Structure 1
Amino acid sequence: MAEEADVIVVGAGLSGLVAATEIADAGKRVIVVDQEGEQSLGGQAFWSFGGLFLVDSPEQRRLGIKDSYELAMQDWLGTAGFDRDEDYWPRQWAEAYVAFAAGEKRDWLRAMGHRIFPVVGWAERGGYDAMGHGNSVPRFHVTWGTGPGIVEPFERRAREALKSGR
């Protein structure tokens, strides 16, 4: 396999498809392995409601929801705690992910054809402040087409990469 691919991705769920398609788009050859057959591309995300965590989105602003990176981080820290030495890397990941969700995530998905239902839901509802468990404002953005709708752009990109030998 080492001569056939630059990278091996284990798992063809949504995160595996995202990783594989980004790697292939960077010009690398990728092998994706999964215990399931091709009919299960996207894994559990395919069967999900297709909700996405976005911060300070146009959908939130249209509904009068005031959100920000700082508030989302307070919510995340209020739930996660990150109070141990071994929490260093999880905290780094959380900060990067919240920055992505508050920045380029929506536009990146939109460029692939992804669309969001114009109502924002409230998953993991918190205690109405930014220091308790959960979200203090609605951040649950539903994908048009639910789970299949969030998987489709990545499945399409993976199939295109397969056709081109990547």
Structure 2
Amino acid sequence: MIKLIQPTINLEKEILDYKKEMFNNKDYKMSGCGSLDKYDEVSLWLKHLEEYSDRFNPNFNNNFVEGSQWLLVDDTNYIYGMVNLRHYLNDFLLNEGGHVGYSIRPSKRGQGYGKIQLKLALEILKGKNVDRVLVTCSDTNIQSYKTILSCGGVLENKIVSNERVTRRYWIENK
């Protein structure tokens, strides 16, 4: 059964395998990975995620918003994808990042896991009373915007920032 779980140190090998596959991909981009690419040790990444999950934590970075990190796994804890959920939006996220950042490991793309992951993420956000979810993607990421559309996304607009076109979709989540 495919499900979303939060990362723990017990999944260190699986997390590192996911990171390695992402790094080895020619289109390397660690979207939705909670800055995993900046940490060599999973334990330090988990500490970062803990600080990021509680805005009342004295180490909370005010440039971020409170959020949670999730892994799309099967019963063997094989990681198909990662999703980072922002529980509310700041000005930057309102324009470019949205409530949801996600990725699927390169060897599993185009097999429906993105749609499964986004649907499960929407359920988590519904539990946090996020009734309207903003999901963004690059204008060139066809798989991502097809995934967003398949989950009920409605294109509000496209914005240009740093010569990059970003699509902004809203999903009603009541």
Give the shorter-chain TM-score range.
under 0.3
Higher strand share: 2
Higher helix share: 1
TM-score normalized with structure 2 length: 0.26
